[in-house]
Structure 1
Amino acid sequence: MQQDSRSGEAGLRSPSALEAPSPREQGEGVAIIGGGIIGICAAAFLAEAGLDVTLFDRTGICEETSSGNAAAFAFSDVLPLAHKGMIKNLPKWLADPLGPLSIPPTYLPQLLPWLIRFWRAGAPAKYEASLAAQAAMMMLAEAEWMGLLDRSGTRSMLREDGSLELYESEAEFRAGLSGWAARERFGIGFRHVEGEELAALQPGMSPCFVKGTFVPGWKTVADPKLLGKAVWAYAETKGARFEMARIDQVAADQDGATLTLADGTTRHARRLVVAAGAWSHRLARQLGDRIPLETERGYNTTLPKSAFDVKRMLIFSGHGFVVTPLETGLRVGGAVELGGIERQPNYDRSKALLHKAQAFLPGLDPSGGREWMGFRPSLPDSVPVIGKALASPSVVYAFGHGHLGLTQAAATGRLIRELVLGQSPPVDLAPFSPQRF
């Protein structure tokens, strides 16, 4: 089996209502650090606005974490992780080293401050604020993605087959009802299914599943890497440029930002967008912002398309993984390993997910797969950082989207554009403030 370890990655104004791009002026350039889907979308929105955009990445466009995600536009996934039963399940999950959540024992002391913040984020008093912030972000995300897909000519990559979340017992189903009630408050459509309707939505499943929840509005894409590269190609038609380089140091003042590359050379920009995924907090610290970002190491195996006829994304929430049919294969992935960015991948975790998928989808052919690991940049409250640096208005942060980077990328691009241009954002940015910690 092949292995591939990659790291990272409301009343709205219509994008078509943008004013005509202004001519590019010398010294008005914007530098973006990070060639994942967040940086790509930020580049597209800024280039559309007529700004001179250069994107920097050490490996290429959409080559790291954004290339291997589960391909979901999860616009209905508004519940922060701390409110999705994770706290309750922690003891059970941690007892299984290959289960939905794993923490290497040697990493636990370093992780403890983040875990305490995560536990506090689950407090009832914080629930409504986090839920409202995510719901507003998701409404914006769906509108902006649909517009960007049309403008970039990538709408054909969109799949609107819905998702099916599966439950092995009545108790597991009932434990999730409060979350579905919260989604219903924000107009998210779904229906609970069982029996013949459940079987029709996904033939060939194990009889262990007694109920499911079908979300018709859930969307996926043909392949996240292909989509990211296609959106970048569109950004290039608007004048965006790419430079392959690792950025070691950043500095900023009122007049702009200076980037120091690994080869010792420097670049200057009037504005800087930090969208470097799991490495972003290291750059933010150089600018005076201490942001408690941690790395969720996610695993998957992409099988040939012929492995099983999966009709739509299947979500096995009790086991922390999903199965997604792609144009390029069948992706089995998920789970969380909180182990930082330095440790080598533990591909036993991807093998464990594949073994479960075989049990849940009898007849699944596990041969010919490619294993992968990527880094999800996650904050304790599951809300990304989108806002200006404390030390300089020249720097804008856009990172910490966790499992929702692809989903929220176009919304983030829109918000970054408004921040750079000094315009009013379409959602309240206070919950996303880099200084909230």
Structure 2
Amino acid sequence: MTALNATIIGAGIVGMSAAAFLQRSGYKVTVIDRVPPGEGCSFGNAGGLAFAEIVPTIHPRMLTKIPGWLMDPLGPLTIRWSYLPKALPWLMALGRNAMPDRVKAITDARAALALRVVSDFETLLQEAGARDLIRYQDTLRIYDNETQFLADAGERAAKNAYGYETKRLSGGEVRELEPAIGPNVHCGAFHGGWYFVTSPERVVKTIAAEVVKNGGTILADDVVSLERDGSKVTHVTLKANGRLAVDRLVICAGAYSHLLAKQLGEKVLLEAERGYHMVLPNSGVSLSRSITYARTPGAATPMEMGLRLAGTDEFAGLDAAPNYARADALWTNFKNILPGLREPDSATTRWMGRRPGTPDSLPVIGPSKTTSNVWYGFGHGHMGLTWGPSTGRLIAELMTGAKSNIDLSPFRADRF
């Protein structure tokens, strides 16, 4: 019997998960990326398995905060004004998707995608003997005052409706759990389902090593173009290795994916939601879990390389130089609730990555509508690590004809 062959563009958490699940379904896999596995956007996230985060990133209450955020160049959301004309179609679609009826439909789709997040992660890491990378402590959300807590009531209600418990804690109870949190904290709440990993990079590299061990190939190269014959992609042209024949193609190229989809005649609204992090090996504080702070979006997560402060959204395109003052602003923010947090020193590192975001806060998962042997898995925004393994499983199911456990129509490529 002829072996099934799949070529996957992208060696982040989504691409490597797709490769691993396709292998389990009998495929021979080749993964292509310009950088090693786990060293793109998957490298620098907050490490969250945030399966309870079912409410979309932008909703009616959030819209009211955006004008104030935009006035602060180091705030949680910024747009480099020279880039605004290019981002405008995406931003207009974002506004449409923030209407209540759309928020409800998007929340339903995100909740469905969350159903097997933990089990899909465990499937891949257990096989590699690395399940200990997951920490099962739920993340805490921290509030300065009662007004902040009440402002999140709608989001907590949505989580509760889907079975996620968001228990409130007094300031004293918060400090009993996490003594590093300061006396000024008013209260806290569990997110209801947000675990973390101790190294996002090592998660991806662990899955990649298992893929190679099981006969997969990982090519370090840059995809220049896709070559079609009728309704099929027959070859990819690589910068260093020339033309490579393909049988079935999976595009998981993060923030660059829409450029490949465009070659296939498909318009996908995708923006690079540029996020930043700072890692403090000598942070001076000890946390047993990840925490988020209601004052501004972001997370502080204890990892094997130090305390990682991650967050913010910057719209500046794919190629603009990083503004690492945005990473420093994360330190300033978390210092408010972690009084023992030490100043950045020579061991501190800063990073910027390009999250692939869609205007409806849903990824693109499924077949191309123009090309019969191409499938997509990209556009996960802030949820790439969380949804990566489940996306890989869903792609494998689609490609093998297995019945999926969820309705995939909200994630189709031609919805924009």
TM class by shorter chain equals over 0.9
CA 1:276/1:86 → structure 2, altered by over 3 Å: closer, same or farther? Answer: same
CA 1:419/1:216 → structure 2, altered by over 3 Å: closer, same or farther? Answer: closer
Q: How does 1:146-165 map to 2 (within 5 A)?
A: 146-165=122-141
Paired position in structure 1 for 2:262: 285
Paired position in structure 2 for 1:325: 302
Amino acid aligned to 2:61: G
Amino acid aligned to 1:425: S
The offset of 1:84, in angstroms, is 7.2
Paired position in structure 2 for 1:271: 248
Q: Percent identity?
A: 38
Tell whether 2:103 aligns with 1:130: no
CA distance in 2, matches of 1:420, 1:197: 48
CA distance in 2, matches of 1:327, 1:216: 24
Q: C-alpha deviations, 1:205-247, integer Å up to 9, x for none?
A: 2333211112464211110001110011111222211111100
Q: How does 1:70-89 map to 2 (within 5 A)?
A: 70-83=46-59, 85-89=61-65
Q: C-alpha deviations, 1:53-95, integer Å up to 9, x for none?
A: 0000011111111011111100111111112733111011011
SS of the residue aligned with 1:391? coil
CA distance in 2, matches of 1:365, 1:195: 22
Residue range with higher mean Cα deviation, 260-269 or 106-115: 260-269
Are the counterparts in 2 of residues 167 and 316 from structure 1 also a CA contact under 8 Å? yes
SS of the residue aligned with 1:81? coil
Tell whether 2:147 aligns with 1:168: no
Are the counterparts in 1 of residues 60 and 98 from structure 2 also a CA contact under 8 Å? no
Are the counterparts in 2 of residues 288 and 390 from structure 1 also a CA contact under 8 Å? no
CA distance in 1, matches of 2:84, 2:43: 28
Give the gaps of 5 or more residues in structure 1. Answer: 1-22
Q: C-alpha deviations, 1:345-371, integer Å up to 9, x for none?
A: 000111111122223211211322100
Tell whether 2:24 aligns with 1:45: no
Amino acid aligned to 1:40: M
Q: TM-score under structure 2 normalisation?
A: 0.96
CA distance in 1, matches of 2:391, 2:301: 24
Amino acid aligned to 1:334: G
Equivalent residue for 1:183, pick from 139, 159, 174: 159
The offset of 1:397, in angstroms, is 0.6
The offset of 1:342, in angstroms, is 1.1
Are the counterparts in 2 of residues 257 and 395 from structure 1 also a CA contact under 8 Å? no
CA 1:216/1:390 → structure 2, altered by over 3 Å: closer, same or farther? Answer: closer
Paired position in structure 2 for 1:195: 171
Tell whether 2:399 aligns with 1:423: no
The offset of 1:146, in angstroms, is 2.3
CA distance in 1, matches of 2:82, 2:177: 43
Paired position in structure 2 for 1:16: none
Paired position in structure 1 for 2:290: 313
SS of the residue aligned with 2:204? helix
Q: TM-score under structure 1 normalisation?
A: 0.91
Equivalent residue for 2:388, pick from 394, 409, 425: 409
CA distance in 1, matches of 2:97, 2:8: 30
The offset of 1:264, in angstroms, is 6.8
CA distance in 1, matches of 2:103, 2:40: 32
Give the gaps of 5 or more residues in structure 2. Answer: none
Amino acid aligned to 1:231: I
CA 1:354/1:239 → structure 2, altered by over 3 Å: closer, same or farther? Answer: same
Are the counterparts in 2 of residues 251 and 287 from structure 1 also a CA contact under 8 Å? no
The offset of 1:35, in angstroms, is 0.8
The offset of 1:254, in angstroms, is 4.2
SS of the residue aligned with 1:29? strand
Q: C-alpha deviations, 1:246-267, integer Å up to 9, x for none?
A: 0010134445431011147111
Q: How does 1:222-261 map to 2 (within 5 A)?
A: 222-252=198-228, 253-261=230-238
Residue range with higher mean Cα deviation, 397-406 or 149-158: 149-158
CA distance in 1, matches of 2:108, 2:63: 20
SS of the residue aligned with 2:203? helix
CA distance in 2, matches of 1:312, 1:338: 29
SS of the residue aligned with 2:27? coil
SS of the residue aligned with 2:336? helix
CA distance in 2, matches of 1:205, 1:403: 25
Paired position in structure 2 for 1:93: 69
Are the counterparts in 2 of residues 161 and 216 from structure 1 also a CA contact under 8 Å? no
Q: C-alpha deviations, 1:354-403, integer Å up to 9, x for none?
A: 12222321121132210000010000000000011121120001000001
Tell whether 2:374 aligns with 1:395: yes
Are the counterparts in 1 of residues 279 and 350 from structure 2 also a CA contact under 8 Å? yes
The offset of 1:122, in angstroms, is 0.6
Equivalent residue for 1:373, pick from 348, 352, 358: 352
CA distance in 2, matches of 1:352, 1:263: 39
Equivalent residue for 2:361, pick from 382, 389, 410: 382
Amino acid aligned to 1:262: K
Paired position in structure 2 for 1:11: none
Are the counterparts in 1 of residues 60 and 100 from structure 2 also a CA contact under 8 Å? no
CA 1:170/1:64 → structure 2, altered by over 3 Å: closer, same or farther? Answer: same
